[in-house]
Amino acid sequence: MDILHVSAECYPIAKAGGLGDVVGSLPRFLNQIGHVSKVVMPMYRTKYLYSHEWQVVHKGYTNMGNWGFDYTIIKEKSDTQGFELYLLDINGLLDREKVYGYDDDTERFCAFQLAVLHWLNQWEKLPGAVHVHDHHTALIPFLMMHTYVFKRLQHVPTVLTIHNAQYQGIFGWDKVGYLPQWDSWKRGLLEWQGNINPLASGIKCAWKVTTVSQTYLTELTNMSNGLESLFEFEKGKCSGIINGIDVEVWNPDNDKYLTEHFSITSFDSGKAKNKKILCDIFGMDEEKPLFIFIGRLVHEKGADLLPQVILDSFNHIGRKMNFLFLGSGDHDTESKLTMLKSFSKGDYDVYIGYNETLSHQMYAGADFLIMPSRVEPCGLNQLYAMRYGTIPLVRKTGGLKDTVIDLADKHGYGITFDNASVGDITNAIYRALELHQEKKVFRSLRKKIMELDFTWHRSAEEYSTLYQSFQ
């Protein structure tokens, strides 16, 4: 089947988090099982754009309310990612470096969606499904089904995948004029709690809705930033499909970001060499177990708990371990983590910012990964960590619960805890230290997690079944 993915992110073109990883790999795995997946995303001014070859495939003119604008679509000449990749440019809105974080993000993503549909409306053969991801593209199901101008697209099935329901893209009714005409009695399909809510609208209008793990879907009916009852109403068309990982990118045996490679037969020396590289950079003692955190420094990820975790661990357990963190986000957490550097030199360090190379080096060199998330729809870090022989310490929530089994179970391979609290995290660290001392058990566990299969194959089949239900 022909599937058009519409997304704000797609690795390696532009990535802010796991959404990019998923859209950069799922389409390729779908193609391997016989589909023809294409991806269209905004033409941000990224390194990838300037280092690859493109051809202009479409130029159009459309409007967002009273504002008429030109747009251009370019396609990558050779499909280096394993799927057709299209970038859409709108001067003044999408020609920026970053993916998000601008005051006019509402206008940027509204215009993007309108231009995508304006282009799609002119395709001779329409795709078998349009697959949209998160709120930035979640107005598309409504626009396809209910606006006059896109009437031709009414019968094209739509899938909305929710990677994160915390962010909903809400805007006021004063901006309703951005959208082309529709029957005003359908107002309820755009609205949630008095505003236009793109994510809620996507949930109402998409033919099928998926979340990135089964447990997250269950949690959403109890806790989803105001959308709980909507998930309850719509649960008949919702399903949870766990993310896979792209083992062509995330493979310790040929990872392009690493200088020391290792596999299941050479992980003892491979992990040690990678740990040494990290410890040399950050002035740490490589004999001590190394705990890492990688991710957005936000409440959702439990990042605000980390400063106290460091202090409590050093005070109560002693300076028996090293901590190395990588991330950016809330200013308060960033500055607390930065301040702690002077207090704990040699045992703790933090890199504030986004650094793809360092993240790979950290997964490869660490002993343990901490993920104390309050909310974690799927989580990819724990999957990458395991593939690189790094044992995950995770809070039992969302996808973390679905992918990490505690050691207490005979099939277990990770450390899990119930609460996103300093106490629970410190306890988990204590358990990890004990495990680290049992050299044989620790080693066999490393081997076990490296062998676990979190590839896309099974999940791509599940998406395939979903698309086929439209036929």
Which residues contact ligand ADP (rule: CB under 6 A)? Answer: 17-19, 21, 294-296, 326-328, 354-356, 359, 378-381
Nearer to ligand GLC, 220 or 290 (CB): 220
CB of 333 to ligand ADP, least distance (A): 13
Please tell me the distance from the alpha carbon of residue 382 to that of residue 387, in angstroms, as a whole number: 9
List the beta bridge partners of residue 74. Answer: 56, 87
The nearer residue to ligand ADP, 218 or 328, going by C-beta atoms, is 328
Q: Given the complex with ligand ADP, which of 150 and 384 has the nearer CB atom?
A: 384
Identify the three-state secondary structure at position 338: helix
The CA radius of gyration of the chain, in Å to the nearest whole number, is 23
Interface segment toward ligand GLC; rule CB under 6 A; list 89-97, 249-257, 349-357, 378-386: 378-386
212 binds, among ligand GLC, ligand ADP, none (CB under 5 to 8 A by kind): ligand GLC
Q: Closest CB to ligand GLC among 163 and 336? A: 163
Nearest residue (CB) to ligand GLC, 52 versus 136: 136
Q: How far apart are CA 196 and CA 171, in angstroms?
A: 5
Question: Please, what is the Cα angle at 452 between 242 and 371, to 5 degrees?
Answer: 60
**Residue 183: how many other CB atoms lie within 10 Å:** 10
Of residues 236-275, those binding ligand GLC (CB under 6 A): 243
Burial of 349 (0-12, 13-18, 19+ CB in 10 A): buried
Could you tell me if 169 and 106 are in contact, meaning their C-beta atoms sit under 8 angstroms apart? yes
* Residues of span 386-405 touching ligand GLC by CB under 6 A: 399
Q: What is the largest CA-CA distance in the chain?
A: 69
Which stretch, 15-23, 270-278, 305-313, 412-420, contacts ligand GLC (CB under 6 A)? 15-23
Number of residues that bind ligand GLC (CB under 6 A): 14
How far from chain centre, in Å, is Cα 57? 29
Strand 2-6 relative to strand 290-294: parallel, antiparallel, unpaired?
unpaired
User: Measured between alpha carbons, how far is residue 446 from residues 54, 279, 334, 385 in Å?
Assistant: 43, 20, 31, 10
**Residue 162's beta-bridge partner residues?**
211
- Of these partners, ligand ADP, ligand GLC, none, which one is at the site of residue 294 (CB under 5 to 8 Å by kind)? ligand ADP
Q: How many CB atoms within 10 Å of residue 106?
A: 18
Residues near 285 by beta carbon (within 8 Å), at least 6 away in sequence: 279, 322, 346
Nearer to ligand ADP among residue 278 and residue 380 (C-beta): 380
Q: Which residue is nearest to ligand GLC (CB)?
A: 18
Contact range with ligand GLC by CB under 6 A, out of 39-47, 191-199, 284-292, 375-383: 375-383
Minimum CB distance to ligand GLC smaller for 169 or for 399: 399
CA distances from 202 to 137, 199, 439 (A): 8, 5, 50
- Write phi, then psi, for 142 (nearest 5 degrees): -65, -50
SS (H, E, C) 102-133: CCCHHHHHHHHHHHHHHHHCCCCCCCCEEEEE
The distance of closest approach from Cβ of residue 308 to ligand ADP in the complex, given in angstroms and rounded to an integer, is: 21
Give the nearer residue to ligand ADP in terms of CB position, either 90 or 258. Answer: 258
Closer residue to ligand GLC in complex, CB, 18/270: 18
Report what 296 binds from ligand GLC, ligand ADP, none; CB cut-off 5-8 Å by kind: ligand ADP
Tell me if 304 contacts ligand GLC by CB under 6 A: no
Residues 16-55 contacting ligand GLC, CB under 6 A = 17-19, 22
Query: Which partner from the list ligand GLC, ligand ADP, none does 295 bind, CB cut-off 5 to 8 Å by kind?
Result: ligand ADP
CA distances 305 to 151, 373, 386, Å, are: 50, 10, 23
Q: Does 372 bind ligand GLC (CB under 6 A)?
A: no
Which residues, 47 to 106, sit near ligand GLC by CB under 6 A?
none
List helix spans (H) across 169-305: 198-205, 214-220, 228-234, 267-282
d(CA 450, CA 187): 50
Kindly tell me which of 6 and 156 has the beta carbon lying closer to ligand ADP. 6
Q: Contact with ligand GLC (CB under 6 A): which of 31, 46, 147, 164?
A: 164
Nearest to 403 by CA among 293, 263, 241: 241
Binding mask 168-207 for ligand GLC (x = CB under 6 A): ----------------------------------------
- 29 or 178, CB closer to ligand ADP? 29
User: From the CB of 346, what's the least distance to ligand ADP, in Å?
Assistant: 22
| Minimum distance from residue 11 beta carbon to ligand GLC (Å) | 11
Span interacting with ligand GLC, options 226-234, 373-381, 427-435, 456-464, rule CB under 6 A: 373-381
Residues that bind ligand GLC (CB under 6 A): 17-19, 22, 163-164, 212, 243, 376-380, 399
